[in-house]
Amino acid sequence: MPTSARDIGRLFLPLSGVVLIGVIWFAASQSVPDLPSPIKTWNESKSYVLQPFDKRGEMDQGIGRLAYYSLVRVSKGFLLGIALATPLGLLLGMSPTLHRMLDPVIQILRPISPLAWLPLGLVVFRKSEPAALFAIAVCSMWPTVINSAAGVRAIPHDYWNVATVLRLSRFTTFTTIVLPATLPYIFTGYRLSLGIAWLVIVASEMLTGTPGIGGFLWQEYNSLIYAHILLAIITIGLIGFGLDRLMGLAESRLRAA
């Protein structure tokens, strides 16, 4: 296939998928009374999009400003989570004893919903902001822990033999063998953790009512403004897509390095 035709195909197929979803959305809005059509959603929400950084009230703000609040919280919680998860995962991979001791605990904690962690954070910290960061960090850290440990265990045994023969120190072994070999696994964990962090922030803001995409969505639901609910959902999806692509780009460049 010529390069131009292949490029057209790469552009056409995603666009056709978006159009298909739009058609399904329009058809559903004709049969569900409270579901706004795409045109109605745009007409009722365009001020939030065309003036994305306006601030008229605590929740009555442009969609860009609300997204900024959420992204800041996600960044803080995500960085806290991977700061804890990366060394823990490497330790679990390097120490079979530690892995056997902590693996049951991790498997118990990993599936707990952010809706359960957030109330605990509110009990401990008594403020919504640190409670949200706590929930994001705890929920998003497990993919990084698991992938980091798996990366260490995947290092060929010959590498360890070379380190033994050369009598490398633990620090040198870590910096020259363990870290370079596990970085692709670690970044895969980061990518998964970032996706979970973005999911958690929406639930956290909905429960605490703090300004952000999740808080805006919950307020508009309580106000029965359904077009704004769809605006929030679309924004959440687009930002999540962008975050995943950015982390995927960083991961692919790391693998190519």
Whether pLDDT at 251 is above 50: yes
Residues 89 and 149 in one domain: yes
pLDDT at site 150: 92
Any idea what the CATH number is for the domain that residue 252 is in?
1.10.3720.10
Residues 23 and 100 in one domain: no
Whether pLDDT at 47 is above 80: yes
Residues 141 and 202 in one domain: yes
Q: What is the pLDDT of residues 125-159, one digit of tens each?
A: 988 889 999 999 999 999 999 999 999 999 888 88
User: Residue 62 is encoded by which pair of tokens?
Assistant: 């442009």
User: Residue 243 is encoded by which pair of tokens?
Assistant: 């975050």
Domain range holding 55?
A: 36-256
Segment 53-60 mean pLDDT: 80
Rg (CA), the chain: 23
Q: What is the pLDDT of residues 151-200, one digit of tens each?
A: 999 988 888 888 888 888 888 888 888 888 898 899 999 999 999 999 89
Q: What is the pLDDT of residues 82-126, one digit of tens each?
A: 999 999 999 999 888 999 999 999 999 988 888 889 899 999 998
pLDDT at site 1: 44
pLDDT at site 23: 92
Residues 4 and 52 in one domain: no
Instruction: State what percent of residues in the chain have pLDDT above 70.
Output: 95
Whether pLDDT at 77 is above 50: yes
Residues 119 and 206 in one domain: yes
C-alpha 55, offset from chain centre? 26
Q: What is the tally of structural domains in the chain?
A: 2
Residues 19 and 134 in one domain: no
Q: What is the pTM of this model?
A: 0.86
Residues 48 and 5 in one domain: no
